[in-house]
Chain A
């Protein structure tokens, strides 16, 4: 069975000297520079064997930060999830790519790059994936302005769904 998140934190800190993690609502917050080390350790240590990156998503918290969240499971031991999070500055958010660890990050990181502008260092092919190459801006950011923003703002029925 997988350890509770507090014990997981202490175990990881013992295994990787110089690492400090924080726990927020059962999510492990990892310093961006140490993400690869933590990921490798979680994947390769027999006890964890978190060989499956299930989900990767970016979250925008203007004005200061963008978070990237990773949901990890183990197909070998059938346990999980372990949830990792990195907090990045909103100006030029950059984090190490997880593609060398989990190949499944390839398209998901491209999606986060495309829609949020998070740059993944070491990604083999970091291009836009859903929007077209010439597109400017990152449409999922909270302060993204639509082409027809004026029309939406001026139209009170724009919020009819709420």
Chain B
């Protein structure tokens, strides 16, 4: 006698629970120790809270206990891919606070270093982004091969590949030699070839397009209101580059464009970075051509440092200095009480603030997209956690 079997799962009671998943803190896609607490409906993200601070060492408090100049090696460790621009940001703020004149040759060396850093950062982040999409290894190694050439340049100028500790108020720590400049010219000449190759590999790649176009779209208004800066902002089509707006250092002397995206998806963010590298190469070409000759009347130190004081004790006051770092607006807010140590030292970290809208970009996407979206924000946890 056959009995009628009950259906395994009656449709009327079929319900899916929202599942909470911790992505990270230990996960290769989080680029450090970073956690996303995601609520998933099936595979779709319905809620996502970023959670960080695992590498917090209270950089600001350390800096308030030491002299202004002694903070430079610590800034290297903020965004450890871009130590040169971190030094630059602090130097700009200190110069504003103390009214320090900057040596002409020092300005050129700074711009050269800052733009080389932009190349390093954008090359690396593009490689990592492809890693996040599943192109494991190969594109990243291509990117790192090129990055290494620039890091060699940094090493021979500053003594260290990544923790350069090189830019100082008034100029840079050591002058560069003519041979160094020639090497830099050679790299700038060769770089477009790599970019062409890299771009061809990626831009017309069907899988890259499928994974990036219309993923993680960031509307223009939200981007402005949420204080998003850098390539992420420009990918939404807002023309705001501090090199142009503030015209700090000697950037107004150079001819370059600000590449803009259209809808602010992952593809735009990636492509804006590629185009920015080409503009950086333009700036580098001009700066390496125009850099003033060393003067026989000045010591090698004097060439690069100008008349900056060796001991620094600014008058009472406040200053906010900002630069366009590869990740966005890097600002340093300093309050002086007339002693050699800052009374208040605050870092406005671009990748920290760019994470504000991570949830907005991820909602409605799949888990695998969240990884790519995070990769396109371009965070470095040394800077987020400080």
Contacts and interface: CB of A to CB of B under 8 A. Distances in A.
B53 A131 contact: yes
Given A81-B320, A106-B356, A161-B67, A54 B60 contact: no
A89 B355 CA distance: 31
B336 to A, nearest CB: 12
A35 interface: no
Most chain A Cβ neighbours within 10 Å, of B222, B225, B386: B225
A27 B317 CA distance: 11
B53 A129 contact: yes
B262 interface: no
B353 A162 contact: no
A78 interface: yes
Interface of B (DSSP majority class) = mixed
A91 to B, nearest CB: 20
B226 A54 contact: no
A45 B340 CA distance: 41
Nearest to A27: B318
A139 B59 CA distance: 12
Given A71-B320, A78-B245, A139-B58, A162 B66 contact: yes
Contacts of A54: 227, 320, 322, 329, 331, 348
B320 A162 contact: no
A53 B318 CA distance: 18
Interface string B53-74: 1001010110001110010000
Most chain B Cβ neighbours within 10 Å, of A59, A71, A75: A75
Nearest to B386: A130
Contacts of B352: 107, 111
A161 B61 contact: no
A69 interface: yes
Contact of A130 (B56, B222, B226, B344): B56
A51 B225 contact: yes
Given A54-B322, A130-B56, A161-B66, A107 B356 contact: yes
B94 interface: no
Interface in B219-239: 222, 224-228, 238
A162 B67 contact: yes
Nearest to B53: A130
B77 interface: no
Interface residues of A, number: 34
A161 B70 contact: yes
B225 A140 contact: no
B240 interface: yes
A140 B345 CA distance: 10
Contacts of B357: 103
B58 A103 contact: no
A162 B238 contact: no
Interface in A44-103: 51-55, 57, 59-60, 69, 71, 75, 78, 81, 83, 102-103
B340 A57 contact: no
Given A51-B224, A103-B222, A140-B58, A57 B385 contact: no
B346 interface: yes
A102 B346 contact: no
11 contacts: A54-B331, A57-B344, A59-B335, A69-B318, A71-B331, A81-B320, A103-B225, A105-B227, A106-B226, A108-B227, A130-B385
The 9 nearest A-B residue pairs measured at CB: A104-B227, A161-B66, A130-B53, A103-B226, A57-B346, A130-B56, A55-B348, A103-B225, A59-B344
